[in-house]
Amino acid sequence: MADDDPIVLYQHPPGWGLASRDAACLAVQTALKLARLPFTVNNAGNTAVSPTGELPLLCAGEELFSGFGPCLAYIRNRDTSDVFNALTDEEGASAKAFMSLVQVELQYAKIYWYWFEEDNYTAVTHPRFASRFAWPLNIFLAWRQQRDYHALLSTKFEQVSAEKIYAAASTALDALSARLGDSDWFFASPSALDCCVAAYVSEILGAGSELPTPALATIVRGHPTLVAHAQRVLAQLE
Amino acid sequence: MATNEERAKYQRAFAESATRPVIVDHVHVDGLTFTNPETVTYASKAVFEAKTVAEALQAASASAVELQRLGIFKSIEVTVDAAPYQPPPQVHDPSSPQHIEVTFNVTESSRLAASSGTLIGNAEVDWETNATLRNALFGRAEKLSLNYAVGMRNKAAYMLDYIQPISGDPDRFIHSSSAHQRRPRSLHSQLGLPVMVYIACNTRLLNIPFRASMLVREQAGHSLLSSIKHVLTHDTRNDTHLATQGKLVEWTQEFAGIGGDAKFIKSHVQAQFNQAFFNENLIVSASLWGGLLSMLGGTESRISDRFFLGGPNSLRGFTVRGAGPHDKGAYLGGDAYVAGAAHVYSTMPFKFLRDTFGRSLLLHGFASAGNITQIAPDQFVVPRLLSLFQPGSMRYSVGAGVVFRSGMARLELNYCVPFSAAGTDNFRAGFQVGLGVSFL
C-alpha cells in the first residue's frame, strides 16, 4: 500500500443536496475530506463493483476496501494529519461502540422506512431502484431485494413492525444526543464518529423531504442537537 | 495470534501425545439417509488400522478424502474422541492404549442435479441440458447422467452415462455410456431461408477475482439483453468438420434494443472454401471471419457483447480469448475484428498409416492472421476498421499437426508458432489441442 495511490470512491449517487444519498458513502466521503486525502468519485452506484456487494468501495491502487468499516480503517492508515488518531484508547472504544449502534439501529430503521413503509416504497424506493435495471428484470430484482431486507430485519426483530424498529432507533438517537450534550463534537475535535452520525442524520432528513411517510425523519428532528451537529459537520467540510 | 512460545507449547503437547498408543473401537458415519452404509465402509475401514494418535488422525483425514471423492457428500466433518467405554484406568502406565472412536459427520448432496446452459462462442450457439442422478437408485454412489446438446450448426446429441463404483471404492468403477447423435440437414442449408432467433438473457459477470481490473468490475451487475438475431447461411460443404468440397457463407446479424439495457447492431460474417486434390488426398481450405459491433445511442459496449479473438479453434497459438485489448490480466474484447486462415490437409504419408486411420486422421498445416480492436463511442468506424489491417498490429500464427475427425466434433493437435506485436497478448509457441465444431 503506497502512500500516493490515487483513491477512487465508488458510491451511491448524490441527492437531497448531499454528496451521496447513502449514509455510509456520505460518511466515508466526509472522513476522506476530514483527513484531507485527495480522491475522485464514481457515482454509478453499481453495487456489483464491490467484492462484497456493498458500497462505499474505496479503490486505492491495487487494493479494494468495501463497506464503511474497512474504508474507515484504510483512511485511518493513510491519515497524515492525524485527525483520526487523536482519540485516547477509551474514547476510541466508545466511538466504536456508538458507530456500531448507529450502523445497526439507524441502518435497520432506514431499511424499514424505505422498503416496508408501503407508500414510501411505491412512491420513491421502488421507482428509484427499478430505474437502474431494464424491465422486466427490475421487478424481479426489487422483489428479491425486499425479500433479502426482510430476512435481514428478521434476524434482529422477531416481528418486523414499525413501532419496535422506530423505538430502537429512537433509543439510539437518545443515547447519541446524551453523549453529545451541548458540545460541538462528540470528542474534543471532529472524529470518525462525527462523520458517521452526521451522515445518517443528514440522509434521514434529506429522504424525509421526499418520502410521503416521514416517520423516521420526524424522530430525528426530535433531536435538535443532532440536527445542528450534522449541519456543523457538513459545513466544516465545504 | 499465538506467540512463538505458545505455538511451541502446542507442538510439544502434540508431539507427546502423537505417539500415544490407541485402539480404535468404533467408526461412526452420521448423516446417512439414503446412502447404503456398505458404500462408506470401504473408505472408512482403514481407520481401524491406526495404532497411535497421529496415525488415527492421518487415517481419518485420508478416509474423509476418499469419502469426498465418491462425490455424494456436500460436506464431511471428522471428530476423533475418546470412546465412551474405557477400561479401568491404569494411571501409572502411559503406554496402555487409549480407546478412541472416529466419527464422520456427513451431509449428503442432493440426489438430482439438473443444469442447462448456452455456450456461445466462435459464432456458435450450443444449448446444452443435463440431468444427473447421484446416489439415488441404490444408494451406492452411482451416477446416472443424461446430456442433451443442440447446436446451431445442425447437431443434436444425446448421451447417457452410468458410473457405478465397486463396493464404495472411488478408483474402481463400472462405466457404461451410450450416445446418440442426430444430424438434421435442413434448416440452415439453403440460401434465402432466414432464421430468426429471439434472445433474452440476464447477463451478470460472476466470480470476478478480487484484484480484477476495475474496467471489468465496473461492468459487473445485472443487465438485460433483448435482441433479435438473424442468420443467413449458404452451406454446400459435404462435412461440417472437415469438408473436401463446398463452401460456407454465413451472415449473422443481431439487433438489440427492443427493451433491455444494451442497444447495438452486431454483424458477423464467416466464409469457408474447401477444395480437394489428388483423389481427396490433399485438401486446401481457406476461412475468413469478421465482426462488427455498432453501438446505438453513443453508449459503450459491454464485455459480454463484444468479440474475442484467440484460441485453438480461432487464432491458433493464442489462448482462448487471449488476443486483443487488455487490462490487468483481463481480456476486454473488441468491437471489431477480422481473422483469416489457410489450411492444407493431407492423408497420412505411409500406406499402413493410411490403412489404419483412413480419412479420420489427417496431417494438417495452417497459417492464420487476425486482429481485433475497440471502437469508442466518439470514434469513426471506418478508420478503426482500416486500422485492423495495419501490418504492425496484426497477430499471426503458423503451425502443423494432425486433425482427427469424429462424427460429433473435430480434434486437432498442432504445434503452433504465433507472432504478436502486442506484448499483452497471451500466446506461446508449442502444442495446442483444439476440440470444436466451429473453427477458423
Q: Which residue in A46, A51, A64 is closest to B221 by CB distance?
A: A46
pLDDT (tens digit per residue) in B322-332: 898 888 778 88
Contacts of B87 (CB under 8 A, 6+ apart): B99
Domain with CATH 1.20.1050 in chain A: 86-236
pLDDT > 90? residue B13: no
pLDDT > 70? residue A14: yes
Q: Do B217 and A141 touch (CB under 8 A)?
A: no
The whole-angstrom distance between B286's CA and the closest CA on chain A is 42
Any B CB within 8 A of A1 CB: no
| Ramachandran category for residue B381: left, alpha or beta (phi over 0 → left; psi -120 to 50 → alpha) | alpha
The whole-angstrom distance between B118's CA and the closest CA on chain A is 19
Mean pLDDT calculated for residue range A108-124: 95
ipTM value greater than 0.90: no
Do the Cβ atoms of B107 and B84 come closer than 8 Å? no
Nearest CA in chain A to B328: A62
Q: Which residues of B touch A8 (CB under 8 A)?
A: 214
> For the residues of A64-97, what is the DSSP string, one character each?
EEESHHHHHHHHHHH-SS-GGG-S-HHHHHHHHH
pLDDT (tens digit per residue) in A125-172: 999 999 988 888 889 999 999 999 999 999 888 888 899 999 999 999
Q: Which residues of A touch B327 (CB under 8 A)?
A: none
Q: Which residue in B210, B214, B224 is closest to A133 by CB distance?
A: B224
Distance CA B112, CA B418 (A): 45
Among A residues 41-60, those touching chain B with beta carbons less than 8 Å apart: 42, 44, 46-49, 51, 59
- The confidence score (pLDDT) of residue B152 equals 56
Distance CA B194, CA B191 (A): 8
pLDDT > 90? residue B197: no
Q: Which residue in B204, B220, B226 is closest to A49 by CB distance?
A: B220
Any B CB within 8 A of A64 CB: yes
Q: Which residues of B touch A135 (CB under 8 A)?
A: 259
Any B CB within 8 A of A142 CB: no
DSSP state of B153: T
Q: Which CATH superfamily is domain A7-84 in?
A: Glutaredoxin (3.40.30.10)
What single-letter amino acid sits at A79?
Answer: D
The mean-pLDDT minimum among A56-70, A72-86, B242-256 falls in: A72-86
Q: For cell 486422421, name the residue.
A: B361
Do the Cβ atoms of A144 and A115 come closer than 8 Å? no
Q: Do B260 and A134 touch (CB under 8 A)?
A: yes
Number of residue pairs across A and B with CB atoms under 8 Å? 39
Distance CA B63, CA B48 (A): 11
Do the Cβ atoms of B157 and B408 come closer than 8 Å? yes
Q: Which residues of B touch A134 (CB under 8 A)?
A: 223-224, 226, 259-261
The whole-angstrom distance between B297's CA and the closest CA on chain A is 16
- The confidence score (pLDDT) of residue B192 equals 35
The mean-pLDDT minimum among B31-35, B199-203, B216-220, B349-353 falls in: B199-203
Q: Which residue in B211, B214, B224 is closest to A137 by CB distance?
A: B224
- The confidence score (pLDDT) of residue B123 equals 46
Establish whether the linkage from the previous residue to A136 is cis, with ω within 30° of 0.
Answer: yes
The mean-pLDDT minimum among B207-211, B341-345, B419-423 falls in: B207-211
Q: Which residues of A touch B204 (CB under 8 A)?
A: 48
Beta-bridge partners for A60: A7, A63
Mean pLDDT calculated for residue range A217-221: 95
Q: Which residues of B touch A44 (CB under 8 A)?
A: 218
Mean pLDDT calculated for residue range B86-107: 73
Distance CA B129, CA B28 (A): 38
- The confidence score (pLDDT) of residue B118 equals 67
The whole-angstrom distance between A5's CA and the closest CA on chain B is 15
A183: exposed, middle or buried (Cβ count in 10 Å: 0-12, 13-18, 19+): exposed
Distance CA B102, CA B44 (A): 9
The whole-angstrom distance between B257's CA and the closest CA on chain A is 11
**Confidence category of residue B190, pLDDT binned at 50, 70, 90:** very low
Q: Which residues of B touch A64 (CB under 8 A)?
A: 210-211
The whole-angstrom distance between A135's CA and the closest CA on chain B is 7
pLDDT > 70? residue B56: yes
DSSP state of B52: B
Q: Do A134 and B261 touch (CB under 8 A)?
A: yes
- The confidence score (pLDDT) of residue B158 equals 66
- The confidence score (pLDDT) of residue A125 equals 94
The whole-angstrom distance between A48's CA and the closest CA on chain B is 5
Mean pLDDT calculated for residue range B9-24: 78
- The confidence score (pLDDT) of residue A166 equals 95
The whole-angstrom distance between A51's CA and the closest CA on chain B is 6
Which one of B23-37, B64-78, B364-378 scores highest in mean pLDDT?
B364-378
**Confidence category of residue B277, pLDDT binned at 50, 70, 90:** very high
Do the Cβ atoms of A221 and A232 come closer than 8 Å? no
Distance CA B196, CA B265 (A): 15
Q: State which H helix or E strand residue B58 sits in.
A: helix B53-69
Distance CA B250, CA B409 (A): 19
Among B residues 279-298, those touching chain A with beta carbons less than 8 Å apart: none
- The confidence score (pLDDT) of residue B207 equals 58
Q: What percent of chain B has pLDDT over 90?
A: 18
Sheet containing B195-203, strands listed edge to edge, beginning at the edge strand earlier in sequence: B195-203, B223-235, B245-256, B264-277, B282-295, B336-346, B361-373, B395-405, B410-420, B430-436
pLDDT (tens digit per residue) in B204-218: 665 566 666 888 888
B380: exposed, middle or buried (Cβ count in 10 Å: 0-12, 13-18, 19+): exposed
Candidates B126, B295, B304, B299; CA nearest to B222 is: B304
Q: State which H helix or E strand residue B417 sits in.
A: strand B410-420
> According to CATH, what is the number of the domain A86-236?
1.20.1050
pLDDT (tens digit per residue) in A43-53: 988 888 888 88
Please, what is the average pLDDT of chain A?
91
Among B residues 133-152, those touching chain A with beta carbons less than 8 Å apart: none
Any B CB within 8 A of A130 CB: no
> For the residues of B291-338, what is the DSSP string, one character each?
EEEEESTTPPPPGGGSB-B-STTSSTTB-TT-BS-EETTEE--BSEEE
- The confidence score (pLDDT) of residue B188 equals 32
C-alpha cell at position B427: 500466446
- The confidence score (pLDDT) of residue A105 equals 94
More confident call, A199 vs B241: A199
Q: Do B260 and A46 touch (CB under 8 A)?
A: no
**Confidence category of residue B189, pLDDT binned at 50, 70, 90:** very low
Q: How many CB atoms lie within 10 A of CB A182?
A: 5
Any B CB within 8 A of A137 CB: yes
Please, what is the average pLDDT of chain B?
80
Nearest CA in chain B to A8: B214
Do the Cβ atoms of A205 and A230 come closer than 8 Å? yes
- The confidence score (pLDDT) of residue B193 equals 38
**Residue B151, CA distances (Å) to B54, B183, B232, B287 in order:** 54, 10, 16, 20
Q: Do B220 and A8 touch (CB under 8 A)?
A: no
Domain with CATH 3.40.30.10 in chain A: 7-84
Q: Which residues of A touch B214 (CB under 8 A)?
A: 8, 49, 59
Q: Do B223 and A133 touch (CB under 8 A)?
A: yes
